[in-house]
Homo-oligomer: A and B are copies of this chain.
Amino acid sequence: MAADTELALEPIGIVRSPLVGRKDAPRSPADGPAAILDIDERFVAALEGVRPGMELIVVTWLHQAHRDVLQVHRRRDQTLPLTGVFTTRSPDRPNPIGIHRVTITMVDATRRLHVAALEAVDGTPILDLKAAVDPGEAANRTSSPSGLRRRASTS
């Protein structure tokens, strides 16, 4: 396995949001507020091609999460049995990486990305941005039987 030194993350930016704590976060990602992805100027070249209307996957570091949690009650419902965090979207998990699908609403003059409905608290480090779907793949394979229907989701 790779040495730990090779698995160090360098944030590429930070989330600016009216959400200030975990308890403020809505349970459904679609209910998250508008937010800003403030990308470090060192990585502006990697934003080439980002346009309003584009859907991207935002990968975050859920810095308020508890890394020692291995089981949770689904939907924070104590009446439900404990289940392994790897079958849930709980932010609490050994490596608290969040995955959020967002729509870009504006790229402002300072190259900050404005997005709709992001369930991530203010100050959350951003690790990566990706195409929600590879444009080439989508064009080539829209008729694939492996196409799947799924929802926008976080963490």
- List residues of chain A with CB under 8 Å of any chain B CB: 1-2, 4, 6-12, 14, 27-28, 30, 43, 45-50, 54-57, 59, 61, 63, 70-71, 74-75, 82-89, 93-95, 97, 99, 101, 117, 123, 125, 127-138, 140-141, 144, 146-153, 155
Hey, which chain B residues are within 8 Å of A28, CB to CB? 137, 140-141
Please determine whether B152 and A148 come into contact, CB atoms closer than 8 angstroms: yes
Find out whether the CB atom of A131 lies under 8 angstroms from the CB atom of B101: no
User: In the complex, are the beta carbons of A46 and B84 less than 8 A apart?
Assistant: yes
| 26 A-B contact pairs sorted by A residue (CB < 8 Å) | A2-B11, A4-B10, A7-B9, A7-B125, A28-B141, A30-B146, A43-B70, A45-B70, A46-B71, A46-B84, A48-B84, A49-B83, A50-B84, A50-B87, A89-B130, A89-B131, A93-B128, A95-B128, A99-B99, A101-B148, A130-B155, A137-B151, A141-B151, A144-B151, A147-B151, A150-B150
**CB pair A95 B46 closer than 8 Å:** no
Residues in B whose Cβ lies below 8 Å from that of A151: 133, 137-138, 141, 144, 146-148
Which B residues lie within 8 Å of A45 (CB)?
70-71, 84
Chain B residues with CB under 8 A of A46: 70-71, 84-86, 93-94
